[in-house]
Structure 1
Amino acid sequence: MDPVDLARFIRAGDRVLCGQGCAEAVALTGRLAEVRRQVGPFELFVGPVFSDSFADAPAGGLRFASYGAMGRAARLARVGVLEVWPIHYGTLAAGFADGTIRADVVLLQLAAGPAGYGAALANDYTVAAARHARCVVAEVNRRAPWCHGAELDPAIRIDALIETDRDPVGLAPAAVGEAERAIARHVAALVPDGATLQIGIGAIPDAVLSELGGHRDLGIHSGLIGDRVVDLIEGGAVTNAVKAVDPGLTVSNTAFGTERLFRFIDRNPAVHLRPASHTHAPAVLAAQPRMTAINSAIEVDLSGQINAERADGAPVGGVGGLVDFTRGARASQGGRAIVALRSTDRSGAISRIVPRVAAVTVARSDVDTVVTEHGVAELAHLGPAARARALIAVAAPQHRDALARSLGEGAAA
């Protein structure tokens, strides 16, 4: 099937789901602007976007929805063609899985393997939605890794497919600066040997993983994994040996990285991509002793509320799995939920510890530990005044007096 034949399957008014991140079926998504001109307006539901497929989206008349404005999807939000849904990632996958959230056409990237086709690089809501969609169109990519746990449900009907031989969309490890390294050192000191890790995406999570090479018997149970996880496995820090759930296995919902990651997970029985009903399930997370969630955010206010969604008045992130993993880790025996962020923007002029956040992603009742390059604020069992003092202490020194004055407390000590 030539990709132009997508016009046979997509109708005006449809909701079309595209694979997220490295799981994007680029041979299909690259033709959607042309299809839009042929069939009329339809909605694209996307996750993080790492490709250039939608660079000319406004000119092509494409409109988007997502659970966040991540990667190059942030530009789509800035130009007004992306609507961000305030929804938990686990709820999103469940909604598509049972048909509560409509999906008319699903575009999947698949890999061929020893047990037939498998979802390549994401066992996510697109796979769940394919069970109910009117049409499923697949790109079978010879270079995409086949991963255990992501075997395609034989009940999913593939209406058409193309075969390609190209590198999947990649995501290189983020550049890490001195502030990120300082944050990572603080976070690494909070992670015990034998902890099971959930890790977010970006420079700070990458820096944290780089600091954990001296740890022992770490496990991975995460919404995503990247190249840095391979470093820890090959270096012996991650063994998954003491996990209570899925012992011996690295478990994730998605894989976002480079050729190094793709080749490592390809047909590797020690790595499983599982659906969000497993990776993000509160009961599963709570059952992992020392479950440790490590995520970044945009800003934290003096009550402990966390914003991971908006900056400078625009969507730049999303709710995602942050609340799922925060609550799951806190329910775990010996677990911890860590939110790590720079104390300021890159210029130092804008504090990321603020009197009040622009959007509440994590409620103050769920917050646990906040880390900046200036230290650690343990908030879980503190009252309002003590919380504010703890957060001011990890703010950038040049902003502490103004934060203290915002509380009416006078200059910070």
Structure 2
Amino acid sequence: MNETLKKWNEKEITLDDVPSKISNGSKIYIGSCGSTTEASLQAMVDDLSLANIQILQMIPGGNLPHLTQSLDRFRTSSFFSYNTTNFFSTTERHNPEGLTDYTPVGVNQITRLLQENCVQVDVSIIKVTPPHKGFVSLGMGVEATMDFIRHSGIVIAEVNENMPWTEGRSKIPIDEIDWWIPVHKPILTTNQLWPELISGPSYPDEIMDRIGSHVVKEIPDRATIRLGVSPMLYSIIKFLRQRSDLGLHTDLLNQELYNLHIEGVITNKYKTIDKGRSVVGQAHGDAELYDFCDRNPIIEFHPSSYTCDPQTLAKIDNLVSIIAALKVDVTGQVATDSIAHKFYGGVWTDEDSIRGAKFSKGGKPIVILPSMSISGRSNIVFELPPGTGVSITRSDVEYVITEFGTAYLYGKSIRERCLALINIAHPDFRQELMSQAKENRYVSRSQPGRSLSSGYPAELETHHKTKTGKDVFARAVKTTDEDNLRNFFHRLSDHSVYLRYFRKLKSMPQRILQKTADVDYSKDMAIVVQDCVDEYHHEIVAIGQWVSDPRGGLSELAFQVRDDWQGEGLGSFLFKRLIDIAKENEIQHLKADVLNDNKGMNIIIEHSGVKYRKRSDFGVVTYLFDLAPPEPKKE
């Protein structure tokens, strides 16, 4: 037996010995997820001689007996709060007083907190693999564990032969461990760690699926994915199957992300750093996931100081960071860890994730939330409730997604932000939000608000290739398009303006802009064509619309193509598109008034194959379209 192994064997103790290695008043770190040292916790709680113990925890799971103790015996300091079943566990179930201490700080900052003695730790109790060549692996829970070990006076390890040996920066020399206990129990699965994830209230699948369908539109093939730790995000992971060759650099590997590795969706082939490898800080799942992580070089476990460092994240091209929010106000301020004076979840890495993606080449920072809470309150609010912490400032927010669509806020004014966020709020609250925005002069008092009574028709979005092969994107107009429509108008020639409006205009009146952009989709329709497939960075190059007659007459159809885009076939595309949408909406009659001089529009209509009648008066041709389906023939 060599000297190293002999010294190691001399450090072996039993669970009954653990309390004797700890002094009253100690501050003890206990690990996270499947690396939570349950057995040692129970041994400490069972020894009634221990008092005034402070437990430092991140996201522990399983049996947590210290939470049932009086504050004189065990106090808890956490970097992640647990008083809602929307997140990982419910401390209130154990301790009606709630968490004694919650530290709202990003996990990436723990290194500095320990270095500067802002957080002190006396003992680290960790869960590791059996030793191999002088090292043990931290297995499923690396995150901030190494920092706590480095600053602890005593390190106690539960050695578990079931703990996977993980690659990356998960290994520590055995001489850094002072005492160890053999505890060969199976690593707890997700359901065993947090039963509340299964039994607790959750948002309906339909709502989360609609959110996921919007999120995946923002994710290109070969992007690298980063997710927050909220279980709310788990339900959208399945939509990543619509993409290929994704990369992964995130805090937490779960069962859903593991499945994407097995299915070949996550390959890491195109990452700009750590190519070919998924980088995570911790993991939980079932036995298959744990086996997958064991000595697997394509999964690397790294400390939070690397996995969550915004400077590291910024080096990853096409990084898409997705975090879950609790509330968002109409200016774009995001709350992720508290509502009013109650804490939910934690800051964790939300701010670092958002900023890392902002500075990534091609990156996208995305905030998701259902439009309405489980209790029936709006999650899009005019102002955050008093006491609510702002986790992400309005200047850092870019994409906010609910089941009703996507609000792109980067570089937008307060008016544009209000209109965009109100449009993705739950319909039951839109009118109230608009009234509050008008009252506080966030938006014009003249804003019609027609779109509030009908949902944005995302199903009308489509890609199109022009006659010369240019890619364009067509969609329904939005209230936030006012400035885009104004820019479109000023790119038209005087002749084109005259042909469309039958008169000369030097500028586009605000009332016409509002009427065009703020549409009740159940009655009217306007389709805009953009010059690229990116919905959020574009110029409008064509527009087509029909407008209902409030006096009960026929809805009037019109379309226009910017001068420099004429000849691309966009006029024909828009006309046929509008006719098809009208038929789908069971509109049976439309009309179009066209100047005789507007040769292009006349030719498009007359060669479209759509049946029409026409009449001509004073240089204006009026086309009448009968869109009613033919009556079935009598037998």
> How does the TM-score come out when normalised to structure 1?
0.93
CA contact (8 A) 1:120 1:150 kept: no
Which of 386, 390, 395 matches 2:420? Answer: 390
2:186 to 162, 167, 172: 167
Who is 2:17 aligned against? 5
Alignment partners' CA distance in 2, 1:34 and 1:364: 49
CA contact (8 A) 1:308 1:319 kept: yes
- Structure 1 counterpart SS, 2:234: helix
Note if 1:82 corresponds to 2:82: no
Q: Are 2:68 and 1:57 equivalent residues in the alignment?
A: yes
Moved more, 152-161 or 304-313: 152-161
Q: Give runs of aligned pairs for residues 293-372 of structure 1, distance below 5 A.
A: 293-311=321-339, 313-347=341-375, 349-357=376-384, 358-372=388-402
2:43 to 24, 31, 43: 31
Q: Distance in 2 between matches of 1:95 and 1:393?
A: 42
2:44 maps to amino acid: L
Choose the corresponding residue for 1:107, options 111, 125, 138: 125
Which residue is 2:270 aligned to?
242
Query: 1:267 matched to which residue of 2?
Result: 295
CA RMSD of aligned residues (A): 2.2
Q: Is the 8 A contact 1:48 1:73 kept in 2?
A: no
For residues 222 and 233 of structure 2, what CA distance do their matches in structure 1 show? Answer: 18
1:134 — aligned with what?
A: 153
**Does the alignment pair 1:47 with 2:74?**
no
**Cα distance, 1:223 vs. partner?**
1.1
Contact 1:96 1:125 in 2 (8 A): no
Aligned to 2:260: 232
1:147 aligned onto 2:166: yes
Could you tell me how far apart the structure 1 residues matched to 2:209 and 2:380 are? 19
Check the 8 A contact 2:23/2:50 in 1, yes or no: yes
Contact 1:77 1:315 in 2 (8 A): no
2-structure distance, mates of 1:354, 1:9: 52
Provide the rounded CA distance (Å) in 2 between the counterparts of 1:260 and 1:171. Answer: 12
Shift of 1:149: 1.4
- Aligned partners of 2:119 and 2:342: how far apart in 1? 25
Tell me which amino acid in the other structure corresponds to 1:183.
I
Q: Cα–Cα, structure 1 residues 77 and 320, in superposed 2: closer, same or farther, change >3 Å?
A: farther
Q: Which amino acid aligns with 1:148?
A: E
Larger Rg: 2
Cα distance, 1:403 vs structure 2: 1.6
Deviations 1:12-50 (A, max 9, x none): 222111101222011112223234x31321211111232
Cα deviation for residue 313 of structure 1 reads 3.4
Could you tell me which amino acid in structure 1 is paired with residue 50 of structure 2?
A: V
Q: Is the 8 A contact 1:302 1:387 kept in 2?
A: yes
Contact in 1 for aligned 2:41/2:66 (Cα 8 Å): no
Q: 1:77 to 1:94 in 2, by over 3 A?
A: farther
Give yes or no for contact 1:50–1:170 (8 Å, CA) kept in 2: no
Rounded to whole Å, the distance in 2 between the matches of 1:268 and 1:98 is: 35
Preserved CA contact (<8 Å) 2:140 2:282: yes
Rounded Cα–Cα distance in structure 2 between residues aligned with 1:156 and 1:69: 34
Counterpart-to-counterpart distance in 1, 2:383 and 2:24: 42
One-letter amino acid of the structure 2 residue matched with residue 236 of structure 1 = G
Moved more, 87-96 or 97-106: 97-106
The 1:31–1:333 alpha-carbon spacing in structure 2 relative to 1, beyond 3 Å, is same
- Runs (5+) with no aligned partner, structure 1: none
SS at structure 1 position matched to 2:167: coil
Instruction: Point out the more displaced range, 108-117 or 247-256.
Output: 108-117
Partner of 1:68: 80
Count the aligned residue pairs: 411
Task: Indicate yes or no: 2:310 matched with 1:282.
Answer: yes
How many Å apart are 1:183 and its aligned residue? Answer: 0.6
User: What is the CA-CA distance between 1:77 and the residue it aligns to?
Assistant: 7.7
Report the 3-state secondary structure (helix = DSSP H, G, I; strand = E; otherwise coil) of the residue aligned with 2:209: helix
* SS class of match (1:287): coil
Q: Who is 1:19 aligned against?
A: 31
CA shift for structure 1 position 252: 0.5
- Is the 2:145–2:303 Cα contact (8 Å) retained in structure 1? no
Please say if residues 99 and 129 of structure 1, whose CA atoms lie closer than 8 Å, have aligned partners that are also in contact. Answer: no
SS for the counterpart of 1:166 is coil
TM-score of the two chains, using structure 2 as the length reference: 0.62
For the residue of structure 2 that corresponds to 1:22, the secondary structure is: coil
Bigger drift between 114-123 and 181-190 goes to: 114-123
